[in-house]
Structure 1
């Protein structure tokens, strides 16, 4: 059995184990379990004949092969889902703190819920008649019924339905011990014997009758089956909604468990073997549908929902030949691959090195294979439109028109290669991208012997620039050296926008939309590399910042910085060897983030380096821990001491200069043979970024709030000390993870884009072209409105790539991955990530976690190759929830492991949870990086992680291929986050497909709805992505950000004196006129409402008048001076006497909570003095 099939089998075992643990019954294994031969019909009590028999654990009745609950548990504590209690019964509150919880420490055969509790349950009063919609108590919502609704088309004679009800009831049996003298021993316990319930009935539906009811009795169990029909009319068809419900109407209150139906399941089929009709969508029921709704209906036209659950979930097969209730729903998604195949099953991919050394004609010919294949595909799709519903024909044509537009852009890109500079930039960018691929291997650890350091280099190490042929012979393999079709196609589309005069092309804002792990980063990094090289080829002396790349989360920023640093080192390596083409100034990269991540000042970096050398403090704040080219580790080690007995340390990779004349800090490769041994082109300190204007800058969106605070930031945009431009501004802005730029953050980012765009516009040229915008995301909805609000681009200039075709399964550049069935040898979709839903009315979310986690962590220990599912990645929607669950692993689970093994007759030793890691925003960068590296540790290695508790920090930037097991506690706030979070596992689906367990809180209406609609939701996840909201010119956004933008405008575009002090501000009134017209025009383009415009104008005049009031000599507070100042940090405290002039200015674009500071007011000072004088 290969690794993939082995892991699929293991995953199926985990799912089955969860069903046995939560729903039951425990699977009977006659070869290993002990059975007992008992006739329950004639014997009410069981007697042990000896104390030795009492020690045995009997799991089943030999006669009936039915389960026996032998450990003293009641069925309601043995199982937690799939139970229907008698109507009007309520359950005692068994919440997480209950002393009689099944999760409290019980090691032998103690009764988990005693008889007193059972009586308490039976005698509870009837439940309330009304329940609040948004939340409810567990005890008020114990289920006595379950139902689901499906659709049947209108016919005079409706079809005959067949109903099958299955489940089990548990009968109580007293167990006693008889000693040697045949006297009754006081020992007594309780067993529960399962008895199967199976009911089959047929029902003929008629359009003239809208309600049917049948009742069935099994012993004292009374079940009521009801069928209700409701006629509907849609724009497409007429028919009936059919709701089938099953209710437990048993009324013997004193025997609640005896009359409870466990493992309940209701299955419906057509008697004549017909298949069910699809459930009508909201689009079918409404004649008014938006273009985006129609687009989604087109893409997911073949995805059908057949039923919706009520109090349960519903499952069906591919043909919809049956509908069946389930309490652990599951759905396996298909894998979308960018590795596409065309005629003759040939994979369509382009060699990077063939692009490097091929002639223009050869390059164009190879690239034309993609455009010709794409053009044929579009023609084939157009022929299929007639097969679609008529109401989707128009939107289908629009989709293919967008595909043709992308095709024409690709063709223009191939023609653009006839420009010599574009061709060279393209070819050397291909070389750089290949080198950065090779440099992405594992870190080469430093070896320390007798105080000396050296490295043992692997075969893929690059130290100098190799010849193309050497690269081709030594490094090219199936996973390296090739472009995926969508990556090279996106690069082609971007080539015409390289020249400065190509303003029309630059006005197009591109959004790369591809599933997580598809290679979006490679696509936009290729464009960045080509843009950088083209600028150097055109003017090697114009060496300012060319690319701004922004992220929202620091984890993603740090991770992508490591990756981008590899590309920049590859580019600079090429420049070193071709200075005649690309100039003598280095191609460099800078990380522009907050001071908690990198030092803001050189003196701070020098101090950190000093601490590393002189103390045992290993807090790396420099983020770079190895050379991006040769991968040699930067480390700290103890060297030979000059004085015996002293300890001296050496830190490799970082060097500082500090004397009276100068101070500096730089990073270098510790490998003496590397091209970057003297210095790496990497800048992490803000002062160095302002001084050197790195070619490529990566930062968080928050950092751009500092434009109001740091006038030296102007150098990033090529603006000199006198306010004039001396270098071209950045021409490319990359915004990854676009879906995160939403809500208040997105609104603030949007209004700050006004000043960023102004700083990136070169008015020295006649066209005054704006920068090129590239965005990327794995989830998209309402993207045109979002990008328009953020970047002020016309909606018809906002393009999605790859443009969707007619189906979500095939956009030409992304297709469903197919494989051969190991048995039938026929092609089928490959096995993908599996989602399962878990919920319980009977235990709280904490107890549910204990049961679920214990099950998967224990069962995986039995696998021959458990690595894929060894580490559990548990996601929580808040730090508070995560903290509460941490105690479960430390206390509850260690106790429950023993109970679990007894319950399921597992002889193997219990799983010990040795290593629990946290991955949240509370960690420092160093800790986050270490945690990510530790997650890569295989299960059989020391310090392998058992459980990782994570918050939304893992939403992006976590790419650990060995992870395949995840839990998500509570439905995340939006579908985009759900997709991103669950995409952290099963990334190596070709070997270890993922398993995602979503634990729902049924006390939350939203969670309950997702559980009931589980299959409908998961079979078209991307269709359910919610649109993001961005309102940059709303009143709250203007209140928070306008003052900062205006001050930033003055300090960046005025002269150096104005940047340092507002004394000369009246000399720059033209800047107020300029910013007013630019902001106003942008507002009108984005938000044409008169209320927003009026509010902006009022606010602008108010801030302008305050700044021109001559009342302040400082921009910000100087604690060495009592002079008045114009701004203070948003949310911070300043005395009231300064607030009449000072404005609160953002230092971060996120929400800021105001701080509170106590002061002693003058009035109390004077009163205290009076009292003293009086005494």
Structure 2
């Protein structure tokens, strides 16, 4: 088996040699005397190194060759020519190369160039706001001449501060004769020197600077130490800043710079103990529970140094304390791997009733009992903690105890309630079937000319419940614990826990989706067992990004097929109405109307480039290929054969598995709906959608959407509403988007509340999140609920919550290998783009040196950009600069063309690509580089924030992040896309920091501190649904929504007369919510609400919205963002059709509308 850890180290080393150096290559050559080569002698062009093993730069001068870890002479200005250079200086490098490098060989193919051109065309069409990060001008600045670290140290008597600069270097010219001409080589010379400062010197006065200077090979290098007392003014404890400075007074130039700069500072004492102390932290707020909690969890993740112009590092795992702090210019940090596998697995087959004599409950009790024992063990440890951690520790253990008790109650409920036990049994059966179906390989279609029918690459097979793969058929402990904890409050609407919001917080890849799919299956079965006639929508599953929505739709479709398969076998229990699923998203993704669907279906049959808006590319049950057949068919084949599994029937488009043998070719086909009108009529059991779609409830597009909530044409409840709402990736619902969502949630919850039989039953809400900062405040602002339970609750340490732990080797308990982060901050390379070129070229070329079976994890480079603008600037780099620099590497290393990296396929994965292209892109990324599929693997994938969630591709292990992402949660989610199989191929993430962005530099200087406790660095989210800007922009929208969804048939047709009763009902619903969330806004709410009610009453509009282009009547609402005349602005409301882009921009306009507003206020 390939050693992917060693191979990752090779890639890291290749990047280090490219950016920092040194990189000695080739055969040794004697350099002490004259060096002569014959004219046109190929030997001159091969790589050489000095006899002592030191590097020779044969083509590039040192300052062109290296841009990281370079200290210039002090006060060397950034010259004008530096500022006027092109963004990328690859041409400078190419101009220094011999003619051989410009051979005709192209390292980027025509198809890859076409990929780039297609991406560029689409990006030019898109509109996107500029990044809010700003760059500092480098005018009137100096090139870096120093680097330093600050740390806290304890100086016992007789101790010494030893500062060592090792493996630094300088370069000296050497003239080389080549025939009759003369060339210049640059020979590296190592620089190593040590200085010492005694404790008596450093502790003698309050504050003082100490300097020691050495002249080495023409360079004047000094170490300066700034010594200050610590905050507590403890004896012998000093806060030190140690700087290495190039004080050479000669003007800037290659020979006057220090390269590969770095140093280590060590306290040596007579007893040999460790004397580097944790770096001072800001005092945390002792009244803030969250800050106390984080301080407890990450108390072992101490910072021991902060960099200045470099990164600080220290001993990796020093159990006896930290003795040395290091200043380095290319930092790396390996994060621990987190595993949900804690030695307890619960078999689904037993719980599904498939194993005679074993109902599986013994395994469930084992989870509960072992968790309770773990809690007691942690409780006994609290007394050994510091006093400052005690309160938080007791809070954590109390929350763990509550979770354990709820798990125990859920298990007892299952044992005592016959219907619940049966629903749980069926849910396990369905999830087991879903796992088997979802993991099947695609059964590719092939048109058989002889039979004039399609065949498939493998024959149909019913799910095999006996021979499952080793990763199927088992619950992880955290998944089954979550089910036990939330199952009773999902089934029963009249218990206190019903209003509790369940919040799953688990690392990427831990199995969150399967956990709430299991809960969904239980909820759906439970409702049918209670009343087989109680049909309609029961589960709303909402996402924020359409990539994730489309992916999870396919995954959830397999579950629904499994449930429908079981219903057909148990019709007496579960009724005759099929279980079904619908995807309810924007019209850019799926058709709103049946007419539109048929039109797009016809186009799909006749046009091979047409967009497929139906999303289904494989049968969720048997994995038979569906959708557009991509291969060429013989002439004369009817258009209908070009599309598999889609059929026009009864005025709409339905879906049937194209394999006649499949369970879902027969009967009514697949229970899957993608057309809005079908969804309103069929009311699928489970609906997957985006939060944006709910903005359309105010519009005629969704006039019939009331059926999804069980509301009839007369505005009365006729069916049960959705009883379970699942919100994935809660952390993305923050800021302006979250605030608008929070306002709409008030109405959505009301539509999902059942008040029949004298009870008020609200929906159960389950969320998942990647962050936990201020989660209780966020949930309260979004859903108006004060009780939120985080699961799994934290223990006493970030590395162990019982349900997830840092992965350790069983033998010696050392940490297993994890994802490596590497930071590139290259102020010497003139621009961020130059750093991109060199970094990308180095890590693209490095895997070529590996054997074919070793390459796959490192072959596809996934590059994340913070904006489409930044992605667009990289397209030209891939077209010319990166292939050009690959030639530079070839020449420098003396490689044959067969040893070079060729760019064959470049892919885009951003929010602007078509929805039907998303699964295609995912499939392309899954292609391995071993040519087993007779198609090229993706070389480079350019991605934006669409990859934050849902891109789960195990083979990806290499990523570059261009610029520090806007939030830490985004950084965590994005970088979690690589190295998912950490036990086999842990990932490598290279973050390229902009040298001109202060925020990037700050993250670089605190590189280790930041990455060692990433989750603690997550910024708090903010949601303010009742703030004045949100009310001004959207209050009228939810007034319209409520009236249109709950009014009778008459009000559905026209907003006139003013629906006073409904408006007052909405006021009564909103005010308690505001009093709970933000009571200070009640007065402003009354003002805005009264104003909107007055406008509605006074304008007397007879149309809700514009009906056709020829209709000149001004309606009550108009589309926000579209042009409107002054009269339309005065008499209609600009109403959003999306919840995004709701944060206002300031645009000046001369208007007299204030006169009308004044008249209305006076009226």
Q: What TM-score, normalized to structure 1? A: 0.89
Give the aligned partner of residue 673 of structure 1. Answer: 661
Deviations 1:159-180, CA, capped at 9 Å, x for gaps: 312111124444433525386x
**Match 2:1095 to one of 1078, 1094, 1106:** 1106
For the 8 Å contact 1:106–1:895, the answer to whether it is kept is no
Aligned residues: 1090
Encode CA deviations 1:818-838: one digit per residue, 9 max, x unaligned.
Answer: 236xxxx63422111110000
- Whether 2:9 is the aligned partner of 1:15: answer no
Equivalent-residue separation in structure 1 for 2:616 and 2:1133 (angstroms): 38
Matched with 2:124 is: none
Question: Does structure 2 conserve the Cα–Cα contact (< 8 Å) formed by 1:87 and 1:247?
Answer: yes
| Aligned residue runs from structure 1 range 283-432, under 5 A | 283=282, 285=283, 288=286, 290-317=288-315, 318-319=317-318, 320-341=322-343, 347-357=344-354, 362-417=359-414, 418-432=416-430
Find the partner of 1:1078 among 1066, 1069, 1085: 1069
Q: CA deviation digits over 1:912-940, x for unaligned, max 9?
A: 11211111122101122211110011113
**Secondary structure of residue in 1 paired with 2:422:** helix
3-state SS of the aligned residue for 2:1098? Answer: coil
Match of 2:281 in 1: 282
What are the ranges of 5 or more consecutive residues in structure 1 without an aligned counterpart?
113-131, 180-184, 342-346, 1162-1175
Q: Is the alpha carbon distance of 1:1056 and 1:333 closer, same or farther for their aligned partners in structure 2, counting shifts above 3 Å?
A: same
1:929 maps onto 2:928 in alignment: no
* In structure 2, distance between residues paired with 1:752 and 1:313: 46
Corresponding residue of 1:115:
none
Distance in 2, matches of 1:1154 and 1:315, equals 43
Separation (CA, whole Å) in 2 of partners of 1:814 and 1:214 = 50
Whole-Å Cα distance in 2 between the matches of residues 567 and 916 of structure 1?
A: 34
Q: 1:732 aligns with which of 712, 720, 724?
A: 724
Identify the residue that residue 845 of structure 1 maps to in structure 2.
832
Distance 1:1056 1:1156, change over 3 A: farther
Which of 1074, 1081, 1087 is equivalent to 2:1078? 1087
How far residue 358 of structure 1 moved from its aligned partner, in angstroms, is 6.5
Q: Give the CA deviation at 1:1155.
A: 13
Aligned to 2:809, the other structure's residue is in SS state strand
For residues 1022-1037 of structure 1, the aligned pairs below 5 Å read: 1022-1037=1015-1030
Partners of 1:1129 and 1:1146 within 8 A in 2: yes
SS at match of 1:1132: coil
Q: How does 1:370-519 map to 2 (within 5 A)?
A: 370-417=367-414, 418-440=416-438, 441-450=440-449, 452-456=452-456, 463=462, 471=465, 473-475=466-468, 477-519=469-511
8 Å contact from structure 2 (residues 736, 1142) kept in 1:
no
Q: Could you tell me how far 1:707 is from its partner in structure 2? A: 1.0
Moved more, 83-92 or 96-105: 96-105
Q: State how far apart, in whole Å, the 2-side matches of 1:520 and 1:383 are.
A: 30
Stretch of structure 1 that moved more, 1097-1106 or 499-508? 499-508
Q: Distance in 1 between matches of 2:99 and 2:291?
A: 57
Q: Give the drift of 1:53.
A: 5.1
Distance 1:706-1:338 versus aligned 2 partners, 3 A rule = same
Give the one of 652, 655, 658 matched to 1:664: 652
Tell me by how many angstroms 1:353 deviates: 3.5
- How many angstroms apart in 1 are the aligned matches of 2:346 and 2:87? 61
Residue 456 of structure 1: CA displacement? 4.3
Matched residue, 2:266: 269
What whole-Å deviation, never above 9, does each CA across 1:201-257 have from its counterpart, x for those lacking one? 22212322343221111132111111112212259999321111111111122x632
Match of 2:1118 in 1: 1128
Residue 680 of structure 1: how far off its partner (Å): 1.0
Separation of aligned partners in 1, 2:69 and 2:314: 18
The CA distance in 2 between the partners of 1:1138 and 1:525, in whole Å, is 47
CA distance in structure 2 between the partners assigned to 1:237 and 1:9 by the alignment: 46
Change (3 A) 1:646 1:672: closer
Tell me the SS of whatever aligns to 1:818: coil
Q: Distance in 2 between matches of 1:234 and 1:759?
A: 59
Match of 2:1157 in 1: none
Distance in 2 (CA, whole Å) between partners of 1:376 and 1:219 is 66
Change (3 A) 1:892 1:289: farther
* Conservation of the 8 A alpha-carbon contact between 1:35 and 1:59: no
Cα distance in structure 2, aligned partners of 1:64 and 1:164 = 22
Alignment partner of 1:861: what SS?
A: helix
Q: Distance in 2 between matches of 1:671 and 1:839?
A: 55
Equivalent of residue 966 in structure 2, options 970, 973, 979 = 973
- TM alignment of 1:791-810, pairs within 5 A: 791-794=783-786, 797-810=787-800
Deviation of 1:421 (Å): 0.9
Task: Assess if the C-alpha contact under 8 Å between 2:284 and 2:291 holds in 1.
Answer: no
Shift, 1:100, TM fit: 6.4
Task: Return closer, same or farther for 1:235/1:541 CA change in 2, 3 Å cut-off.
Answer: farther
Distance 2:97 2:673 in 1: 62
Secondary structure of 1:780's aligned partner: coil
- Report SS of the residue matched to 2:827: coil
Aligned to 2:186: 192
The alignment partner of 2:521 has SS state of: helix
Contact conserved, 1:48 with 1:175, CA < 8 A, in 2?
A: no
Gaps of 5+ in 2: 102-132, 1152-1163
- Report how far residue 580 of structure 1 moved: 0.7
- What is the CA deviation profile of residues 274-318 of structure 1, one whole-angstrom value per residue up to 9, with x for unaligned ones? 3243423535x4564621111111111111211110000122112
Query: In structure 2, how many angstroms separate the alpha carbons of the residues matched to 1:1155 and 1:288?
Result: 39
Matches within 5 A, 1:843-922: 843=829, 844-864=831-851, 865-907=854-896, 909-922=899-912
Selected match of 1:611 from 600, 603, 611: 603
Q: What does 1:741-752 correspond to in 2, within 5 Å?
A: 741-752=733-744
Q: CA-to-partner distance for each residue in 1:18-58, whole Å, 9 max, x for gaps? A: 11111111134xxxx2332122xxx6xx4526325585147
Q: Distance in 2 between matches of 1:579 and 1:235?
A: 78
Deviations along 1:100-125, one digit per CA (max 9) or x if unpaired, are 6565534734899xxxxxxxxxxxxx
Q: Do the aligned partners of residues 173 and 500 (structure 1) sit closer, same or farther apart at CA in structure 2, a change above 3 Å counting?
A: closer
- What is the Cα deviation at residue 1122 of structure 1? 2.9
Shift of residue 387 of structure 1?
2.3
Would you say the 8 A contact 2:90–2:881 is kept in 1?
A: no
Moved more, 397-406 or 316-325: 316-325
Larger CA deviation: 1133-1142 vs 633-642:
633-642
**Structure-2 separation of matches of 1:1034 and 1:1156:** 18
More off after superposition, 235-244 vs 923-932: 235-244
Partner-residue secondary structure (3-state), 1:1133: coil
Which structure would you say has the larger RCO, counting Cα contacts within 8 Å and 6 or more residues apart? 2
Q: Structure 1 residue 61: deviation in Å?
A: 5.6
Please tell me whether residue 597 in structure 1 is matched to residue 584 in structure 2.
no
Check whether the contact 1:858–1:910 (CA below 8 A) recurs between aligned residues.
yes
How much does 1:138 deviate? Answer: 7.4
Of 977, 990, 993, the residue aligned with 2:986 is: 993
